[in-house]
Amino acid sequence: MEVQAWIELSIRAFFCLTGITGNLWLGLRSLPKSRSQLRPNDVLFINLAASNLITNCLVDLPDTLAQFVNDWFMGRNYCGVLQFSSDLSETSSIFSTMFISIYWHQKLVGSIRRGGAPVQMDNLRLVVVLLAGSWIVALMFSVPHFFIAEHDGNETLEVCEERFPTPAEKKTFDALYLILVNVGPLVGITYASVQIVLTLLRSQKRITDHSKGRNAPPTEENMAKKSKAVNTVANPQQKTQVRSNPSSSNQVRAAKSVVAVATIFIFCWFTHLILRIYSSFRNSVLAVKLTSFIGASYTCFVPYVYLHGVKKLNCSWR
């Protein structure tokens, strides 16, 4: 085996093993001790981990082993399973990332602007319905792969091929998939991430302005503001009071991890989107390989970012 092939195989194996470890870790650390302690955030993380594990175990692992032995030993029929699992996992993972971004945007806004008031996605039933809908959409786009994916008989072929009945049907399928499963969630994740960043910046600006006000020289105007603030806090009838939320720092930390994941997502899936559009017009083994690498890198690194954000990147069990 050539040096280039060994480097490619090593990277694929690293992504595969790291992804399996990270997503298992994220799923297990998100499991509550009891059913009563189950929160929407836990459900979203478990769903994301399960979605990514489908790719890690049913797509990346067999493909990596086939590269290692230089032989497609899984059989021709497994091509349908491979393509089905890939699109099912990809679709569910994209929607899970979008729901997580929207959830933490709502939590951050609720924490900073409304004193930690409940948000719409705190409703566990709503989150379950949204996730169920995303799995239905994923199945709708994934099931056809059982009937159009095939192996051309060459046992050393590195990728499975898909042959649509007509080129028009392929273009229609690809267009619907790109718009509904890639472009739509990409816009949603970008919007939620931008709103999170703006909320964090505004919050930081208020903290900075407050610190400057405390350190300002004791002018008559500053003394009047301080006196008003003291009276506001001291007056039990005052409706607006300054309250500190002990969980706000944790929510800000989690929101920052969501922004980090969104940045990785936008970079990976925008590139993935361009490559998929390119491969839909021109068959290219290189484009297929790059698409696979990008998807694998996303499922590999994302669980660790989320675990760090929710302070669960450790071996202790809650």
Domains contained in the chain, CATH given: 3-32+39-216+249-309 (1.20.1070.10)
Which parts of 30-77 fold into alpha helices (H)? 40-55, 61-69
Residues 6+ apart with CB under 8 A from 249: none
Looking at residue 113, its pLDDT comes to 66
Return the structure tokens found at 284: 């290219």
Return the structure tokens found at 290: 């790059």
Looking at residue 130, its pLDDT comes to 94
Residues of the chain scoring pLDDT < 70? 1, 70-76, 110-117, 147-162, 213-248, 276-277, 279-285, 287-288, 315-318
Q: What is the pTM of this model?
A: 0.79
Helix and strand element counts for the chain (H, E): 11, 2
Listed in order, strand segments (DSSP E) in 146-236 are 149-150, 161-162
Return the structure tokens found at 263: 């940045």
Looking at residue 288, its pLDDT comes to 67
Largest CA distance in the chain: 87
Nearest alpha-carbon partner for 193 in 257, 113, 117, 131? 257
C-alpha 131/C-alpha 47 separation (Å) is 8
Looking at residue 213, its pLDDT comes to 66
